[in-house]
Amino acid sequence: MVRQTKEEIMGKKLLAGVLGGIAFFLWSFIAHDVLPLGTTGIKNVPNENAMLGAMKASIPDPGLYFFPALDIPPNATRAQQSAAMEARMQKIAGGPSGFLVYHPSWNFSFGKALATELGTNILLVRFSRQLHAGLYLHHCHGICGCRPGGCGHREARCGGNGQSGRSVEFF
């Protein structure tokens, strides 16, 4: 068996992360643009212009808004919190409720958004690969008694009981 250098192993891990991120990105494209998953459950607001005018006039700052609001002072007691929650539940029962992601104006760039999504997908695939390796080590420790990092090495070798001897490097 030919032993690979750390640079070769890291290159393969990086390549796997990039290719996995690209595959994830392509699936996102298919799900949103080819299949109807990107528009499922989304509706247009009736009388949108009137609503947008009211929002511009009454919501000056971007943010995530819940309505009806939970009117609690910053240092509220438990009794005040309970009373505010009860009042909010009554408002919800009597009228509209929801949450709103709001931008008074937005300088949106489609190309920048796509590049951000691709980069995020690559990082997520890389992170999930590391997480999977850590879970494998935890599982392996329960089966054959290997101790990840117990002897100061960054590698754990499983196979103490005549098993395959698979080697896994982690973080």
Chain segment 23-56, per-residue pLDDT in tens = 999 999 999 889 988 888 889 999 999 999 999 9
Tell me the Ramachandran region of residue 98: left when phi exceeds 0, alpha when psi lies from -120 to 50, beta otherwise: left
**What are the pLDDT digits (tens) for 71-126?**
888 888 999 999 999 999 999 999 899 989 999 888 889 999 999 999 999 999 88
pLDDT score of 50: 95
pTM of the model: 0.53
Contact of 104 with 62, CB cutoff 8 Å: yes
* Residue 100 CB burial class (10 angstroms; 0-12, 13-18, ≥19): exposed
- DSSP letters along 65-82, please? EEES-----TT--HHHHH
Continuous segment of H or E residues that includes residue 11: helix 6-29
